[in-house]
Amino acid sequence: MKKDQSLTRRKALMAGAGALGAPAAAGLLTPGPGGEAGPPAAPAPGPPARRPREPSAYRLQPLAGHGPPAAPGRPPVRRAPLLRLSGLGRAMVLTFDDGPDPRYTPDILRTLREYDVRAMFFVCGEMAAGHPGLLTEMAEDGHVVGNHTWSHPLLTRLSRAAVRTEMESTSDLVEEVCGARPLWFRAPYGAWNRAAFQLGAELGMEPLAWTVDTLDWTEPGTRTIVDRVEGGAGPGVVVLAHDAGGDRSQSVRALRDYLPHLLDAGYHLTVPRRHQV
Ligand SMILES: [Zn+2]
């Protein structure tokens, strides 16, 4: 019985991945460099898409706009956050927000370590300040530590100066603890504004949102979180989950379930790379 369920789920996972190449879903991917993640719905007009110089390099592509891929140094000022990765083949990215929290983050780190998987942690400065050891652990395990502001405010309600303080103080703390400034930023509640994009670029960070929202913060049940991740699985998909901000025991349990399933389904769980100056 259990085996059958597992088999069905695996089939569903595989089917979900294949569906990305279908015209309806392919519209999510803009054609261009690194478009290997899925064919465009229609032939792109104009000159052929420029091929990435290094096919194995991790590249990012925004959903809207046609800015250049993430480049070393100061990133471009984007108008929309990046929602998924492209050019990674059958790869996915797991992201955990709002931590670190000593009640849940260590469990998540343990599971990732068990499967030798790297993920992204978008940390809040005020949480990180209280638990720098967890930040060190993330960095030492090869995870990417991203900036999720200091106190998790709604940036759209803050002055530009306040947004800067929220972002800069967090980057300063991450640098102090991990030895490197974060290269990625994520706005709390996914509420982006111009200041966030401009200041993020100024501080050397690319804005990363997500493709699949587990809505784990609503505590919908472990099973539901697992189903959302597996149902939304596909090449280049970025998954949003949380390791803090409330009772995250469901998120912790769900990871133990979906992570091995994703790996069994042939996904490579990875993190995007950017070259620091
Ligand atoms: Zn958050």
**What radius of gyration do the chain's Cα atoms show?**
18
Cα of 97 vs centre of ligand 1, distance in Å, is 5
N-term to C-term CA, the chain: 53
State which residues form the domain around 274: 82-277
Is residue 15 in a domain? no
pLDDT at 275: 52
pLDDT at 9: 52
Query: How many domains are contained in the chain?
Result: 1
* Average pLDDT estimate for 195-212: 97
Is residue 103 in a domain? yes
Cα of 188 vs centre of ligand 1, distance in Å, is 4
Cα of 215 vs centre of ligand 1, distance in Å, is 11
Cα of 59 vs centre of ligand 1, distance in Å, is 24
- As to burial, measured by CB atoms within 10 angstroms (0-12 exposed, 13-18 middle, 19+ buried), residue 275 is exposed
* pLDDT exceeds 70 at position 19: no
What whole-number distance in Å separates Cα of residue 128 and Cα of residue 91? 28
Q: Mark the residues whose beta carbon lies below 5 A from ion ligand 1.
A: 97-98, 188
pLDDT at 89: 85
DSSP 114-146: HTT---EEEE-HHHHHH-HHHHHHHHHTT-EEE
Is residue 198 in a domain? yes
Is residue 61 in a domain? no
Cα of 200 vs centre of ligand 1, distance in Å, is 16
19-28, 54-63, 254-263: least confidently modelled range: 19-28
Is residue 131 in a domain? yes
Is residue 161 in a domain? yes
Is residue 54 in a domain? no
Q: What percent of the chain has pLDDT over 90?
A: 70
What are the residue numbers of the active site? 97, 242
> At 92, which CATH number?
3.20.20.370
Is residue 143 in a domain? yes
pTM, to two decimals: 0.76
Cα of 146 vs centre of ligand 1, distance in Å, is 11
